[in-house]
Amino acid sequence: MNEIDIVRAVIEEGYQISPQAVELIKLSNSPESLLKYILSTIDDCVFVIEPEHVDLKGFEASKTVSRIISGTSSGTVSQMAPGKISSPALEPADSHMIKAFDSALVALKEPGTFSSVKPDMVSSAEVSDSKPETKPYILSSQGSDSIPDSDSISDSIPDSDSISDSISDSISDSISDSISDSISDSDPVSDSVPGSLSNPVCPSASSRSVDKPASSFFGHAVSPSTSNRASREDSLFSNHGNSFPSSSRDEEVRRLPGRNPVTVLSDITGHSTCVGEYMQFVQYFRDRYSRLSEIIRSRMNARPIESLKRRSFRRGSDGNTEEISIIGMVSDISTTTNGHKIFSIEDPTGSFSVLIRNSDKELFELASRLLLDEVIGVTGSVTNDGKLMLATKLLQPDVPNSVQRRTGSHGKAVLISDVHVGSSQFLEDSWLDFLDFLKGESDSEDMREIAAQVRYLVVAGDLVDGIGIYPDQEMELDILDVYEQYRKAAEYFREVPEHIHVIISPGNHDAVRQAEPQPALPERICADFPANVTFVGNPALVDLDGVRILIYHGRSIDDLVASVPGVSYQEPAGAVLEMLKRRHLAPTYGSRVSISPEKKDYFIIDPVPDIIHTGHVHTLGVQRYKNVLLVNSGTWQAQTEFQKRVNLMPVPARVPVVDLADFDVKILAFD
């Protein structure tokens, strides 16, 4: 087994390996068996295999055990990796959770995902100051006299659970007479999308147990099992200077005072509870549903889905069919053969099918942008047999018009992402010009004037290129060791003037677990950086002296570009707008974003920030939506071979600078 074979095998299992560890393995009499042993026994918290993980004693002992058990004289012990999920007995009622759990099992077996790293230092807390949004985005609901049975709509709709692509043409006629077309013009919801549920992953390790649920909610009350997996996080990552607070189990707001103060309001770092158990998926969805439905509930008087099945709720006192509203999570979307949309939504009490006719253009447009797993409110009439809702209105959580941005701050925040130090495409000359600008050493006086006002530099992920992120990535690396890449990055950041408070959040190329939310970079890496750098997780909600910025690397943008009509890589802020309308950074569970089911859904956008800063797609975009500034910063990496193949044209060395007093944005060019 040569070096490349070892590195490949390690990468395939979702780990990285240091050159020293490779050497050690090569020295063994049976490198292949040793590597297998390491990969099958390595702690899930490790993501780079180091010499200390090459457990030669354990390996030798395992061979002895194997010989005793099997009676053979050679061979390796095939072990289950610790902490594998075992499937609990699921009850069939909750398709949503079962699907998520099943795909999680698949994802957990898939190579290419890093194991969890959970630094023991702690930062932030859940933000609890979100007030109910009382903007009356309301529903004009009009009754209708003759609501058909779903069976009379089509023979091929036997019940609400099995509606498929087969509604006959006669439907649209019979429905169109009987449904009110009224959709309020003032409806704030205007866009949404289709998507698909797939690979959630939860490689995170923690010794915490999960609370037993009081009731079954998006799942059934399965007793939680307590993980007893060992975690090395605490020994691997200790605290670092000013950048990390002391370890704390309490979710606290993390305050970093000074001339340019930062308060970290919400961040997973130090708070991961995920071990990949079934109940954690249930809890995750429960948190997502309850918080998002609460936002919608302040604008919609919704009933539990279960109540729709009781006939009395479907008739008003005058005998007319009343319109009713429900709030649920979209669990299935399909188009009938006649081009109508049908989707299922679930709340904790049950699920219901909703039909949107294609003759209702505005509503149909909304429905065709629905995403799986987003939480929406639906208003409509229920067919006589109580099996189908004929929708007249859809409502996303959205941002209330009343949201004001914070004022009274001053100075500038510089927003960058996707530096990709270590890549052979890293544009070092441009980057050094940028550092000169920050130091106030630009040739132009205008630039020096701007630099003098810079208080914050925010990095939204992909600080380095990493290794083993994509196949054959090593062909495009100048620095092959990930720690070297970070050492180089730290060297650059030591050039940034001390008074500028730098905030670094990780991305999919960084050395933390791939499943999101990602914790801050580990202490071993942070230690090289100067004291004016604060490390946060991804996503993280941070207050910059009175201005709230939500930092998210933006991996879900790839999903949104793929599934929302009109959203493109050329205008990445448009994807962020779709997130904002759903008040969620990664609406579809799984897909390209591996979401770790934490107790709290860190992707919910609440409270509404002043700025959302994303990156990842290497293009620049700035938009405003209801007093929220959306900025996707570009990159410092020229086009890679992969990007050439998919025709992705990066926008390198362009830097958005936000004025914190009036939110004006200037784009500075360093190319």
Q: How many residues bind ligand D5M (CB under 6 A)?
A: 12
462 binds ligand D5M (CB under 6 A): yes
Give whichever of 293 and 556 is closer to Zn ion, judged by the CB atom. Answer: 556
Sign of CA dihedral 152, 158, 161, 164: negative
510 binds Fe ion (CB under 5 A): no
Binding to ligand D5M (CB under 6 A): which residues in 543-562?
Answer: 558
Using CB positions, name the residue nearest to ligand D5M.
470
Binding residue for ligand D5M, selected from 260, 409, 508, 514, defined by CB under 6 A? 508
Give whichever of 133 and 418 is closer to ligand D5M, judged by the CB atom. Answer: 418
Give whichever of 293 and 514 is closer to Zn ion, judged by the CB atom. Answer: 514
* Minimum distance from residue 240 beta carbon to Fe ion (Å): 25
* Minimum distance from residue 579 beta carbon to ligand D5M (Å): 15
Which is nearest to 633 in space by CA: 387, 375, 457, 477?
457
List, as one string, the DSSP characters of 44-56: TT--EE-GGG--H
508 binds Zn ion (CB under 5 A): yes
Give whichever of 596 and 637 is closer to Zn ion, judged by the CB atom. Answer: 637
Binding to Fe ion (CB under 5 A): which residues in 448-477?
Answer: 462
For residue 471, the one-letter residue type is P
Tokens describing residue 71? 């009676």
Give whichever of 349 and 643 is closer to ligand D5M, judged by the CB atom. Answer: 643
Residue 522 contacts which entry, ligand D5M, Fe ion, Zn ion, none (Cβ below 5-8 A, type-dependent): none
Sign of CA dihedral 469, 472, 473, 474: positive
Give whichever of 373 and 418 is closer to Fe ion, judged by the CB atom. Answer: 418
Instruction: Decide if 495 contacts 465 (C-beta within 8 A).
Output: no
Find the part of the chain contacting Zn ion (CB under 5 A) among 89-97, 346-354, 605-613, 614-622. 614-622
* Minimum distance from residue 553 beta carbon to Fe ion (Å): 8
Binding residue for ligand D5M, selected from 648, 661, 665, 667, defined by CB under 6 A? 648
616 binds Zn ion (CB under 5 A): yes
List, as one string, the DSSP characters of 519-568: PPPPHHHHTTS-TTEEE--BSEEEEETTEEEEE---THHHHHHHHSTT--
List, as one string, the DSSP characters of 349-367: TEEEEEEE-TTSHHHHHHH
Beta strands in 336-436 (DSSP E): 341-347, 350-356, 375-382, 388-395, 412-416
Which is nearest to 296 in space by CA: 196, 215, 188, 371?
188
Q: How many residues bind Fe ion (CB under 5 A)?
A: 2
Binding residue for Fe ion, selected from 373, 418, 601, 610, defined by CB under 5 A? 418
* Minimum distance from residue 65 beta carbon to Fe ion (Å): 44
Give whichever of 271 and 509 is closer to ligand D5M, judged by the CB atom. Answer: 509
Instruction: Decide if 339 contacts 361 (C-beta within 8 A).
Output: no
Question: How, if at all, do strands 501-505 and 454-460 pair?
Answer: parallel
- x/- map, 427-456, Zn ion, by CB under 5 A: ------------------------------
Binding residue for ligand D5M, selected from 341, 393, 488, 618, defined by CB under 6 A? 618
462 binds Zn ion (CB under 5 A): yes
Binding residue for ligand D5M, selected from 398, 418, 476, 598, defined by CB under 6 A? 418
323 binds Fe ion (CB under 5 A): no
Q: How many residues bind Zn ion (CB under 5 A)?
A: 4
Three-state DSSP string of 474-526: HHHECCCCHHHHHHHHHHHHCCCCCCCEEEEECCCCCCCCCCECECCCCHHHH
* Minimum distance from residue 508 beta carbon to ligand D5M (Å): 5
Binding to Zn ion (CB under 5 A): which residues in 125-154?
Answer: none
* Minimum distance from residue 553 beta carbon to Zn ion (Å): 6
Residue 286 contacts which entry, ligand D5M, Zn ion, Fe ion, none (Cβ below 5-8 A, type-dependent): none
* Minimum distance from residue 630 beta carbon to ligand D5M (Å): 17
Find the part of the chain contacting Zn ion (CB under 5 A) among 106-114, 324-332, 405-413, 613-621. 613-621
The three-state secondary structure class of 281 is helix
Give whichever of 286 and 618 is closer to Zn ion, judged by the CB atom. Answer: 618
Give whichever of 364 and 470 is closer to ligand D5M, judged by the CB atom. Answer: 470
Which is nearest to 476 in space by CA: 633, 620, 637?
637
DSSP β-bridge partners for residue 595: 516
HSE toward the beta carbon, residue 445, CA cutoff 13 A: 0
List, as one string, the DSSP characters of 444-474: SHHHHHHHHHEEEEEEES--B--SSSSTTGG
DSSP 309: G
* Minimum distance from residue 155 beta carbon to Zn ion (Å): 49
CA distances from 329 to 253, 259, 347 (A): 30, 44, 6
* Minimum distance from residue 635 beta carbon to Zn ion (Å): 9
> Cα 298 vs. chain centroid, distance in angstroms?
25
Which is nearest to 509 in space by CA: 476, 548, 467?
467
Binding residue for ligand D5M, selected from 357, 509, 599, 600, defined by CB under 6 A? 509
Give whichever of 346 and 418 is closer to Fe ion, judged by the CB atom. Answer: 418
111 binds ligand D5M (CB under 6 A): no
Which is nearest to 396 in space by CA: 421, 371, 424?
371
* Minimum distance from residue 616 beta carbon to Zn ion (Å): 4
Tokens describing residue 231? 């975690």
* Minimum distance from residue 461 beta carbon to Zn ion (Å): 6
Note the residue count of the chain: 671
Give whichever of 320 and 570 is closer to Zn ion, judged by the CB atom. Answer: 570
Which is nearest to 287 in space by CA: 602, 648, 664?
602
Find the part of the chain contacting Zn ion (CB under 5 A) among 89-97, 113-121, 166-174, 615-623. 615-623
516 binds ligand D5M (CB under 6 A): no
Binding residue for ligand D5M, selected from 449, 491, 642, 644, defined by CB under 6 A? 642
Instruction: Decide if 652 contacts 659 (C-beta within 8 A).
Output: no
- Geometric angle at alpha carbon 381, from 376 and 383, rounded to 5°: 120
Find the part of the chain contacting Fe ion (CB under 5 A) among 9-17, 207-215, 338-346, 417-425. 417-425
Using CB positions, name the residue nearest to Zn ion.
616
Tokens describing residue 632? 């996707």
Instruction: Decide if 512 contacts 117 (C-beta within 8 A).
Output: yes
Type and span of the H or E element at 593: none
476 binds ligand D5M (CB under 6 A): no
**Which residues contact Zn ion by CB under 5 A?**
462, 507-508, 616
Residues found near ligand D5M in the complex (CB under 6 A): 418, 462, 470, 508-509, 558, 616-618, 642-643, 648
